[in-house]
Structures are given as structure tokens and as C-alpha cells.
Structure 1
């Protein structure tokens, strides 16, 4: 008799399994007696480190019979790298994020995105103003720390001494042999937070020294950049002997969660987590409901969000090495030695305030793009011909730049950009107006050559540039000649480009037309020897509609600012927009 009861139990269990497997959640709910019918699926893309906690909480939500308008709520949580989702969203809006590239074919847009940082939302909004996610509140937090092998950390006073980003900056830029690392900041939020903090520390003095300090910091960091987090972490020393410590990675900006995960594996050399001041932008895990999410799914998203605010979810976060949004932690959290609580509780980055809550790095989209553009210029080599407008209109004054002339503002932007280019770059310099060299509208000041041998010559040439009184703008002839000059001596392994800065439109009645220019660029272009034309337009007289077709033929782009005082940012953004060099 006992045997038949045991068999009946097995049959009942098998029937339950079949109901769930074949009928899905709807069949199970009907069998369990729930009143909901049908299924409403909410898709969630979550950063890999928080995804397990979100999945468990979502499973509880559906098991408790969550419903919307009589439909059973089902939640599909996918662990997704934030950079992949960001690329997919950018592609949907027809824009691109610096350093991110195109989305992979497997990237799918979710109803809810749980990225690791609000900086992704800021960057998307900066490039695509129509992108407006809802809610965006933090559901977890992981402070950004400087991870350092414990034997090295003790030499800088850890864990007793409080250190700042200026302390780290000094060690990075003064040749102390501290090997620093960073995950590519355009693709990693922790790397970006570290870069922003160091850039802020470098710029705190202001003036030319700040520019030099920033450039030095960027170049020092560039020597230790890694494409992905796993690659960076693998460079930490695996033995405590002096040789291993000297050869291994000495310091890197990582999330606290990464340090906890690393130390949980009981490595031969544990990592210390240094909480530098002022606090960087933390990973804040914003709960972003995507634009266009239908009302029923938005309501389901609200139910999941409420579940992510419960003590049960806080406990699951602790098991993943993550804090609650207020910077505290629940039972089960294994804090690094010396970890403060709360920590990383500054306000989330916002476009409304350039530097919220006194945090390092500036949490607005414009600042982020500016720093990433500087990083791109400082860390990627190229071969570029800079072409500067010297027509008479460059004498006009710029009220927003202390009444300096357009020429002065343009040359200062060029000088700052020049300081960022390292010796691996090759640069040349032309000027243009009308009839500068006989009947030619352009004149070469410095031919394209390595920065290692002609940096001073370029600086002297920039210092001697003055506008031509009464000169017009012979743009089309100049662009074609510059394109041919770069193409004739094209070099593999580099981005070969022409960057032209102008405050007007083509005014050369004796030159070629735009139609002729476009036709000739198409005729002579060579996909095996590409040359990108980038145009930086300065002032209200510039027509972006007139400029756009020209660089598009070459795979380049046009950038226009009505305020000449902003040309520095636009110039860096233009250089940073270059694609990767063909091989």
C-alpha cells in the first residue's frame, strides 16, 4: 500500500512538471488557483553582477501571483553588459557613443535596463536628446575604489591614512614606477569614474599647468589600459616577492564589488580597496524603464521596482558584494578592510548640475564627453592635416571669450589639442582664405610629419597665424587639395584625416562648386586608403546643412557651434569621432 502512495506522489509531481513545462506560467497559475489569465512578459537587461539578485526577486514576484489587468506577470532577466545595451539604444536613435562602436547582432532592447551606472544614461541623452527613460532611481550601489595589492597599499599608509585623488595623481605622473591600469573608460563605467576623478584632480590648479597635468595623467593611464575588466584584473601580481610586485599591476580603478569578488577567491596577494577623496561617481544601478514601453508593461515594471526595494533584495545584493542604494549593506556582505558604511552615497549624476554633491569628476553629460574626447585624442595615434580658416571674418570678437577674436579662440583650441597629441602622432598645418599663395586659396605652413621632431615648429607656426583682412573663404578648393595631400602619402595603421576649422561658407567665385567637390571626392576615394574629412564650423554664419554632405562622402562628420568659445570642446569631439585605423 505504501508503495502505491509513493507512486501516486511521483505521478502528481510529474503532472505538475508537465503543467509548468508545457503550459508555461499561465498553466501553472490556473492549476494553482490564481485568478490571472494569459501572460504579460516584462524583459529586463541587467548588469551581470546584479542580474542574479534581480532574477531571484523577479521569480518571487511571479510566484506570488503578480498581475496587471488580469494578466500574469512573467519577468525575463538577462545578464547583459551595459556597453552592449548602450550601443543598441544608440543605434536605435541613429547616434553613436565615443569608443562604443556598433551593437552586436545579439543585442536586444529590453523594457527595463539595469545598467551599472547612470553615466550610460547621461551619455545617451547627451547624444540623443529624444532618449528619455523613466524612473531611473538607484536600486543598488558599489563605490569606486582604487584597488591595490595589499603589500603596496601598506606603503602608502593603508588602511589608516586617508588619501585623495591628488595623491594618486602625483604617484602616477612623477615616475614613481607605480604601474596603473584602467579598463577602457568609454566602455566601462568604473574606468570612466576613475578617469573623471583623476581629470578633476589634474585640473584643480587651473591654467596651463592644469592642461599639462591632465595630459600627463591621460598618457600615464593609457600605458596600462585594458579592453575588458578580466584582462585588467589578471595583471595584478600573483606572488608577494619583490619581483612579482614590481612587474604586476599596482593600482586600478575598480568597483568595490570587483575587489570583494577577487578576494573571495583567496588569491596569494589580496587587493586593498582605497576609498579616495573626494568620492568618485559610484556605480548606482539605475532602474531605467525604456521609452515606448507600453502602459501594462510599465505597470509591471513598477511592481518589479517595488520588489527591488525590499529587505529580501538587500540581502541578495549583499551576497553579490553590492550595497543598498543608501550606501549601507545587509547581512552577508563581506566588506573590504577599512570599508566605510555608508559609502558612495553622493547624488546620482545629473545633467542639471555639473558636479553634484561635491563628487569628483563632474556628473553631467557634457563633462563626460569632454573628458572622453580628451582621452581618445591622447591615447590614439593618427596622421592629420589641420587646416585653419584665416579669412577676414576671423577678426570678429567673441563676447563669451573675454572679447577675444575668433582667430585667437581658434588658435588657443588648436594649441590645447596639440598638447594632447603624443609623439606617435603625425601632424601638418595649412591655412586658407582666398589667394593666399598666388591664385591658390591655401598655404602649407608645416608639412605632415612626426610630432617627435616638429612639435616646436608647429607651435611657432600657430603663434604666427593672423587673419587676412578682406580675405574670403575659399573652402571647396582647399578641402579637395588637402584631401589629395593626405591621400598621396597615406599611411597604414593610422587614421588619416583632414580637420578643417572655418567660421563661414564657401565664398570663392573663382573656385569649384560644391557639386564638383563632391563628385571629385567620390571619384578619387579609395576604400583601401581611406581619408576622413572632419569640418569644425564656428559661429552663426556657418551652415551645417551646407557642410554635412562634404565629410559624409569621406566617412567623416561636420561639427558646428554657434558659440566660438566652445570650439575647444568641439575640436576634441571631432578628433575623438574618428573610426579605428584600418590595418
Structure 2
């Protein structure tokens, strides 16, 4: 029998001392493969320790918890019963992205086979059922839940109190009424807060986003069980109004919470950005302890709680729970020894020893007799007795109907893509493509996301060119309904390979694009600029500070009825991440890291999921 080896002694010692205390109040994320994080499959702790490697692809919020459970597993009877020792490695892959990979068939998309998963732990069995239906039941084995967390709405505490929290029952219909009321927050005596704004994630990639649209259908149908595809269809008008309040979509709640956190820490109330965030209770707990993006807390790291906490509104009509299953994959690359080790780890997760670890990481144990501890209290914005009503997860056909409906009723978008085509874009990115090739292909791949009624435009910028948009700008397509122009726009993007490429007038390009989009912005749309740049500004007539003052004027308390948010992509190692982050922050947008230029396709997909 191979020697039983624990993970690195330094790491274990850290967890048993100061980092253990930090980990109690933080749920870890290491990034999200589906969100284009270039380190999504980072090296991690994959040093050969003489034991069988059990890789668990897990939804982001469970990484730290599974890390702790992996250490406890080493000391368990379930591990002792194995013929060969096993070491569990959690890696971060969004539930929706893992579903896409597994249903597509073929190998796992990672060059390092050490990181190919033996097991899968999405946030909900919704995803394992979709893979079973679309691919093969044997691929996902027999999933079993080991912990759960309800989907709630996180609301800044002053806003929640304005709605009658904590005494009044608040339902999704109450949010829908605020969305439909042109007076917004003024209808409850808070005119300075402007319109009611909701943040939701994309249901194609996010469990929370999927649960939210199902909860909307339950609410519209007046049901607490037995939701049908007909109920979903009948809820279209109700859900459409609800979607009209959405500021933008995304793969995860982490970036939205980070933006909200940064605003509150800098003295703003956050009301100009978002009023309610659909999220899992565990993410809210993380936010209130100063970990808005739920990253993996490192030894010695100090978390700073937000100046204004979020409180959990458990909808009066009920909440769907993320049931967090785990299962051994029936993939060709999983060996019998790995499957045996994975089954032992899954069995361990059901034991009292494992269940007692869960509350330390913001998750509820399946065994209700296990104490929840100090984290599940009003001090951290949650009610240990909530939610009062549990909504059952509907069948695969109902889930599919809800996703298909969302595609049609989601808030329409008006998006201008602004692409840097300066000389540095000729640099190679290591996979046989230049930076410009990657940018073109990433932009082309996003066209299928948009509906024909969505407005899409594309500009490029460098020195020595001119167009109707101004000096140093090339208009490939004006912002107008996409209609049937996908093929022609695809060709226009490809033509960028032959464009003149010189300097980088980044700030001037942003200013011109912002003026264009502000002039045409409509309240009923997500008005946005996707900005891709691989370098520093070298040729603008406007300074960064002047640009920030210009684009940030509409982002104060109450915001604007039709804000234009900028979503910059920092492309390659030379991109000015500091400037791009400031540009995003000034408009309530989000910036994306594509420092690993070869993964630009993934990053582009993540950005476009906001719309």
C-alpha cells in the first residue's frame, strides 16, 4: 500500500493557526473558468505526493471549503479503508461551463491532464440532470447533495429597511412592482435613490441566475410546487418587467459584489449602482465579511467588512436551494482507482465530521441538528430560520423552457465594441495567432449571443486613420439592430487584419465612444461599451483624469435612467490595468483580465454574457 501523505505541512499548519480563523469567515473562489479567468485552472497544489489524485471540478464558492474537507478526509475512516491513499484537489469551474464541456463530449479543455476532473460538484443538480439528458446519465454517475444554500436577494440594509425589512414580508412581486413603477424608489419615499435596479447572473452559466428565473415563474403562477412549462410560458410578461430592472448580466455575482463593495468603501451608498442582487446566501455571508469576490483567503490576509452590509431578503413566495451535489464522472479519463477514491470522498462528505465543517464556510449542513454557529446571524445579514418556504427544483423540461424564455425576454442591449488595433496588436500570443487575430476571433464568436433586435456596433482605434466618428477611429459598423447582419459584420471584423496599425489614442477613443453611446442611450436597454486594449495610452489629447471626470458624471447617487457602462478588457501583459479599472469603476462597469492573451476567446464570452 502506498504511503499515506498529507498535503504540504506548511499549508496544513497555516490552516490550523491564523488562516483557519480567516477561513471560517470566507468562502473561497479561485476564479471561474466560464468567466475567462486566465488562472482558472492554475497549478494549485498538484505536486506528486505518492497518492492517487482526485480532482474535483467545483462551483467557485466551494473551493476553500472543499480544500478543508480534503484535509479532513485524509484523517477519516473512509480514507483509511482505501487500498491506496488519495489526495483531493478542488479546481474552480462554473457550473454552466462544466455543463457545456461535458455535454460537448471529447477531452477536458486543459493541456495539463493533471487537472482533468475525477469528480464534479456543481452548485445544483439542475446541471447534472441537464448533462444526463443531453449527453449520457453514465457520464454524471449518481450525484448526491452534501450541503445546500438558499438563493436570496441581497439588499443594502438601508434599502431593505425602506421596504419594511425585517418585519414585513417581501416578495419577488414587490420587486416587480418597484421595477414597473416609473417613480422607482420615490414610490416608497426615497426619491434620491432613483430607479430600482437589480443584478442577476446569466442562467446559461450561473445557478443563481437560473434559480432566479424559476423563482420568478413560481411567483407569477402563485405556486410553491408543481411548476410546469405552461406556468413558465404564462409568466413571460411578469418576468419581462422584472428583467427590465436588470443593470446587466454576468457569469458570477463576484464582479457585481466587488463593484458594490468598492463603491461603499469609497464613501458612496451604492444606490446608484444596484438595489438588489440575486445571490446565494453563502455569497452574501462572504460579502459581509469583506470578501466580495469570494476569493481564496491567503495566510495572513486581513478582510475588511463593507461599510454598508447587505441583508438577505428571503422572498415570501419561497426560495430555491442550491443543493450542491458531488459525483464521480464516468469519463474515459477517470481510472478505476480514481473512481474508488472519489466514491470514498463522497461518502466522507455525508459524515458528521464533514457536516460540522460546512457552517464555518457559510454553507448549511444537510443535518439540521448540526449547529450553524455565529456566522448565521443578523450581524452578518442572514436569518438562520429562513427561508420560510422552499421551492422544489422543477424537471429538466421546465428548466429548459425557462432558459429558452429568458433568451427571448431578457433586457435588450445596445453595445458598442471598441477595439485597439495599434501596432502592438501584431505580437504573437503563443498559439499561432497574433493578438489581433485573437481579438477578431473573440469578437466574432460573440455575435451569436445577440438577438436580431439587439443593437451592436464596432469601432477600431489607432492613429493615422479617420472616419465619421472622428480622428483616429474606424467605424466597422454603426450601433444599430443586428438584424441579419451577422455574416457581414463577421467579414468586417476579419478585415481588421489588413488595417493600418500605429499609436494608441486610448482615452480619446473612450471619450468619443462614450459620447456616442450617451447620445443614443435608452432607458429600456443595457447600454454598454466593450473596450479592448493591449497597451498604454500614447496619443490622446485628453488625460485620464479628465476622461474619468467626463464619463463619471452620471454615476452619482440615484444614477441615470440610461447609464452607459464600460466593460474594458485588459489584453496581454502590457495593458494598462490601472487605467482600465478606473474607467470601468467610473461608469459602474466591470473590467476583465485577459493578461493571458491566448484565452481572449473565453474572456470575450464572459464579457458578452453581461448583455
Change (3 A) 1:220 1:235: same
The secondary structure found in structure 2 opposite 1:183 is coil
Q: How does 1:272-283 map to 2 (within 5 A)?
A: 272-283=311-322
Change (3 A) 1:55 1:115: same
- Report what 1:285 is aligned to: 324
The structure showing larger relative contact order (alpha-carbon pairs under 8 Å, at least 6 residues apart) is 2
- Report what 1:461 is aligned to: none
Deviation at 1:181, TM superposition (A): 0.9
- Report what 1:528 is aligned to: 491
The secondary structure found in structure 2 opposite 1:277 is coil
- Give the whole-Å Cα distance in 1 for the aligned partners of 2:72 and 2:270: 46
Give the conservation status (yes or no) of the 8 Å contact 1:140–1:317: yes
Q: How does 1:57-76 map to 2 (within 5 A)?
A: 57-63=69-75, 66=79, 70-76=83-89
Q: How does 1:74-473 map to 2 (within 5 A)?
A: 74-92=87-105, 108-130=115-137, 132-175=139-182, 176=184, 177-204=195-222, 210-221=235-246, 223-236=247-260, 238-239=263-264, 244-265=269-290, 266-292=305-331, 293-326=334-367, 330-337=371-378, 339-341=382-384, 343=386, 358-359=391-392, 363-377=394-408, 378-379=410-411, 424=454
Give the conservation status (yes or no) of the 8 Å contact 2:110–2:116: no
Change (3 A) 1:527 1:159: closer
The secondary structure found in structure 1 opposite 2:350 is coil
Change (3 A) 1:45 1:493: farther
Provide Cα deviations, 1:152-171, integer angstroms capped at 9, x if missing partner.
Answer: 00111111222222222222
Give the conservation status (yes or no) of the 8 Å contact 2:51–2:85: yes
- Report what 1:403 is aligned to: none
The secondary structure found in structure 2 opposite 1:71 is coil
Deviation at 1:81, TM superposition (A): 3.3
Moved more, 315-324 or 138-147: 315-324
Deviation at 1:493, TM superposition (A): 7.7
- Give the whole-Å Cα distance in 2 for the aligned partners of 1:89 and 1:310: 29
Gap runs ≥5 in structure 2 = 9-48, 185-194, 224-230, 291-304, 415-449, 457-476, 494-607
The secondary structure found in structure 2 opposite 1:220 is coil
Change (3 A) 1:260 1:106: farther
- Give the whole-Å Cα distance in 2 for the aligned partners of 1:216 and 1:93: 40
Change (3 A) 1:17 1:62: closer
Change (3 A) 1:311 1:204: closer
- Give the whole-Å Cα distance in 2 for the aligned partners of 1:302 and 1:87: 24
- Structure with higher Rg: it is 1
Deviation at 1:190, TM superposition (A): 1.3
The answer to whether structure 1 residue 40 and structure 2 residue 52 are counterparts is yes
Give the conservation status (yes or no) of the 8 Å contact 2:95–2:123: yes
Change (3 A) 1:273 1:215: same
Q: How does 1:540-559 map to 2 (within 5 A)?
A: none
Q: How does 1:1-16 map to 2 (within 5 A)?
A: none
Provide Cα deviations, 1:349-379, integer angstroms capped at 9, x if missing partner.
Answer: xxxxxxxx744xx522222222222222334
Taking structure 2 as the reference length, the TM-score comes to 0.50
Deviation at 1:318, TM superposition (A): 1.4
Provide Cα deviations, 1:501-529, integer angstroms capped at 9, x if missing partner.
Answer: xxxxxxxxxxxxxxxxxxxxxxx999516
- Give the whole-Å Cα distance in 2 for the aligned partners of 1:203 and 1:72: 51
- Give the whole-Å Cα distance in 1 for the aligned partners of 2:104 and 2:118: 16
- Give the whole-Å Cα distance in 2 for the aligned partners of 1:245 and 1:525: 41
Moved more, 118-127 or 152-161: 118-127
Taking structure 1 as the reference length, the TM-score comes to 0.52
Give the conservation status (yes or no) of the 8 Å contact 1:46–1:113: yes
- Give the whole-Å Cα distance in 2 for the aligned partners of 1:173 and 1:304: 49
Deviation at 1:323, TM superposition (A): 0.8
Deviation at 1:216, TM superposition (A): 2.1
Gap runs ≥5 in structure 1 = 1-15, 22-36, 95-101, 347-356, 383-419, 427-489, 500-523, 531-579
Change (3 A) 1:271 1:106: farther
Provide Cα deviations, 1:195-215, integer angstroms capped at 9, x if missing partner.
Answer: 221233235597998433232
Change (3 A) 1:19 1:163: closer
The secondary structure found in structure 2 opposite 1:57 is helix
- Give the whole-Å Cα distance in 2 for the aligned partners of 1:279 and 1:232: 24
Structural RMSD (CA): 4.6
Deviation at 1:179, TM superposition (A): 1.2
Change (3 A) 1:234 1:294: closer
